[in-house]
A and B are shown apart, each in its own frame.
Chain A
């Protein structure tokens, strides 16, 4: 079964500091990995995705993630945090069953950005 583990349910950084949100995956086949962001009382917005090819993936709002097969990781980073980055972040892996595809999400990491 495929799964993702997000280390740290809450992360707090100062504005301008590096953001690092951790995600490790478990998959018996090459995974397709995603990061989503959820602002309060809203749905999920896709930040970035890894399917094949380049292991460093750039997304929206200055975020990027690197797929490391040897470490089974897909950590999300941003060089300089902004107050508007405060939100809940979810790592997800997709599984294709042959007829359907579904996302399996981690439990989420709440990012707090302080002045």
Chain B
């Protein structure tokens, strides 16, 4: 079975630009979550998607948005990039939301640098 795949692995953007990050979930997983991990910090929850709808969100502004597609893959979009958006963005997939008793399978992340 395949794991979670994220693309691209690295990218550099200029402040004010927009970026789209992509994630393919593990086979059989229909719930996708996105996390931001700043340098030297633990990951912070951005939002979660289930059945193509956002069903949970962390303390991130509206310029962070996402999509989930019928095949359970997902995108994270960030508009009006700021320097503080520089981080490792992690996608995690899991089995259907069931109180989070199962672990989440994480991708290797996308390293975003905003200059």
Contacts and interface: CB of A to CB of B under 8 A. Distances in A.
Nearest to B49: A100
B100 A103 contact: yes
Interface string A77-115: 000000000000010101111011111111110000000
Contact count band on B: 20 to 34
B106 interface: yes
Interface string B86-106: 000010101001111111111
Given A100-B55, A103-B104, 19 more contacts: A32-B99, A41-B108, A43-B106, A43-B108, A44-B106, A51-B101, A90-B42, A94-B99, A96-B97, A96-B99, A97-B56, A101-B48, A101-B97, A101-B99, A101-B100, A102-B48, A103-B100, A107-B41, A108-B40
Contacts of B6: 43
Contacts of A103: 33, 35, 43, 45, 92, 100, 104
B72 interface: no
Nearest to A90: B42
Nearest to B46: A102
Contacts of B55: 99-100
Instruction: Describe A's contact surface by its main secondary structure.
Output: strand
Interface of A: 32, 34, 36, 41-46, 49, 51, 90, 92, 94-97, 99-108
